[in-house]
Chain A
Amino acid sequence: MRQVLWTLATLAGLAVLGAAAVIGFGLYNTSARGAHLPGIGWALHTTFKQSVRLRAPATEEVPADLRHPDRAALGALHYQNACAFCHGFPDAARPATAMAMNPRPPHVTEAVADWDARHMGWIVQEGVKMSGMPHWPAEGREDEVWSVVSYLMAIKEGTELPPRPASATCTACHGEDGDTTNAYIPRLDLLTPDQIAQALRHYRSGARESGIMAAVARDLEDAEIARAARAFGRSDPAPAPIPDPEAPAALLATRGTGDVPACTACHGPERDAEAPIAPVITGQNEGYLRAQLRLWRDGARGGGVRAELMRKAAQDLTDAEIDNLAAFFAGLAPAEP
């Protein structure tokens, strides 16, 4: 017995020494050229697949509006910015550089084949260790992740894909004049230059979390922010009037409840104050309003000095109230020019 133990201990010691030698003397070839040793590739890939299956969220956590065409369009726009370099487009091959990676990132049509929406959501949110696949670069923005998944599901299910934009500038998402009709992207033509500049600074610093905006705002110079703010902002946007003030959603917006302040006290319309402290939201796009209200409610939304006001204002909103308010404000005419 004693002898067996000594033998095992000696063998273990030799194995540790051997491993130390391989690492210390650089014996393992980390070149991306060669294939893995037999069995290693299988082991790594199976580990990955099983890990995703174990951890992916339940089907009920996939948002109901996953297949909204605007959502897929927003996903496609970000995909072009952040994902296409490695995974290509359904109608375009991967760049040669990406093809030289090891492991080689799968082409998007191949990547979506194995997974359901909930799995894709987990992979896009969490990334894959040792593969080059990054995790979502913002905290608390599962809504953005699902927009990318929306696009991936459109690819998988062969739905008509949104047109691929020619460029990845502000206008590609927000529209030529900042007046996009995509429900999930904010209109910029309702905002003042100051509000746009502040939002960009917050996206740049990370005070406002967004994987999509971080991808374009992280490297902006102050001068570029000022230029964009001037280009899209409007000096004095006036919120549109409320046509039917007695409708339930209108009452919630203008009077609030015992738990929820009146939205219009800060956002208008019919604000009796000299200077706006909060952006105009009449005519703002619905999916964007809904996502932002949820972020405020869940405490995941950063902002300026008055962010605490909005966080506390939204903290008791129910999902139904958020849906109603987003639909109500989106349904009002946009701000008067």
Chain B
Amino acid sequence: MQNIWLSDGMGQGRRQHNWKSHAALTGILLLAGCGSGRQSVLNPAGDDALMLFDLARVMFIGALILWLLVAALFIYVTRIAPREFSRCSAERLIVGGGVIFPVLLLGALLIYSLPLMSSQREADDGLEVQITAEQWWWRVNYVLPNGDTITSANELRLPVGARTGLRLNAHRVIHSFWVPALGGKTDMIPGRETFMSLKPETPGIYRGQCAEFCGASHALMAFEVVAMEPEAFAAWLAAEAADAVPPQTPLARKGAGVFAREGCGGCHTVRGTDAQGQVGPDLTHVGSRVSLGAGILPDGVEDFANWIAHTEDLKPEVAMPTYDYLSDGDLTALATYLEGLE
């Protein structure tokens, strides 16, 4: 992750404009610094991300020191004290500086970094989340220690200070799960479960993104990760396990009627109602999520209406049809109903 950012910048630099690559690298660092950092490896908010950040820092600073040493040596022998080396001392320099020193240095880095890999797959503290990548959204099932499963979608909530296991699957094509602020990325492969675990430390809302090209709307396959204090998380999980709240206002009740009439329940589940479809995201508590459409829209009434009426414009080739034939009244009612599913 970190090293990919870095090697990209340097690779370009080697090709043509060294100064540009430095400018770009500095720019990236600055951007990451002044942005919200919700989706940045430079803003680690969890154990694993912190470790990766440290690893990257060690590598980067090490590379910098090495480069300065080589540059200083080069300037010293060509400009400051140019002299002829004897064959013996030249060979000592080449073998010492070109073979022994790199072997020792790389060996030390290897010994430092290899053990870090295993901690990315450490067992969880009791909570496990099964995440299945669909085109282009996320099925999320919380599996409690007693075996109960709580279904959600497109949003991952984690307790801070505890390690949560993630069982990763994919439905049709390969995806990759990545929350830069919390940890490394892991591929999601159809027919082969992969595992990783995350331990967030700082409460907050972070952003995850599919990191493996998976079709037309790959770039629009994101999700929010909400890291919460353990008590708040437990309360949220209990609420998430409950059935949907019945619509409260006349407008929301009208929206529930539109939802049933248009057959939305054929694809979506709203627990506690007749809607039991399995094709699309579970909507039981969709109104309490931070975002809509797998991390591409906020979660307001207008956003629901916008999404339902322009689905295929907002997310090309998505499985959900565009309901552009609904009247404004029906659309507003439906959006109000969904937004009220908290």
Contacts and interface: CB of A to CB of B under 8 A. Distances in A.
Interface of A: 254-266, 270-275, 277-278, 305-306, 308-309, 312-313
29 contacts: A254-B276, A255-B276, A255-B277, A255-B278, A257-B278, A257-B279, A258-B171, A258-B278, A260-B279, A261-B263, A262-B265, A262-B266, A262-B267, A265-B263, A265-B267, A265-B274, A266-B266, A271-B274, A272-B273, A273-B257, A275-B261, A277-B262, A277-B263, A308-B322, A309-B262, A309-B263, A312-B320, A312-B321, A313-B266
Contacts of B262: 266, 277, 309
What's the dominant secondary structure at chain B's contact region? Answer: loop
Point out which of A254, A261, A277, A305 has the most chain B C-beta atoms below 10 A from its C-beta: A261
Contacts of A308: 321-322
A262 B278 CA distance: 8
B319 A312 contact: yes
A218 B257 CA distance: 38
B279 A259 contact: yes
A256 B260 contact: no
Contacts of A260: 279
Contacts of A258: 171, 278-279
A113 B168 CA distance: 62
Given A260-B279, A305-B325, A272 B274 contact: yes
Contacts of B279: 256-261
Contacts, number: 66
Nearest to A260: B279
Contacts of B325: 305-306
B264 interface: yes
Contacts of A275: 261
Nearest to B325: A305
Interface in B259-305: 260-267, 273-279
Interface in B299-336: 319-322, 325
A254 B277 CA distance: 9
Contact of A272 (B171, B260, B267, B278): B260
Interface residue range, chain B:
20 to 34
Contacts of B267: 256, 261-262, 265
A175 B277 CA distance: 36
A244 B261 CA distance: 24
B183 to A, nearest CB: 27
A263 B257 contact: no
A238 to B, nearest CB: 16
A274 B254 CA distance: 10
Contacts of B265: 262, 265
Contacts of A272: 260, 273-274
Given A256-B266, A309-B321, A312-B319, A261 B260 contact: no
Given A258-B278, A265-B277, 20 more contacts: A254-B276, A255-B276, A256-B266, A256-B279, A257-B278, A257-B279, A261-B263, A262-B265, A262-B276, A263-B266, A265-B266, A265-B267, A266-B263, A272-B260, A273-B261, A277-B262, A278-B263, A306-B325, A312-B320, A313-B266
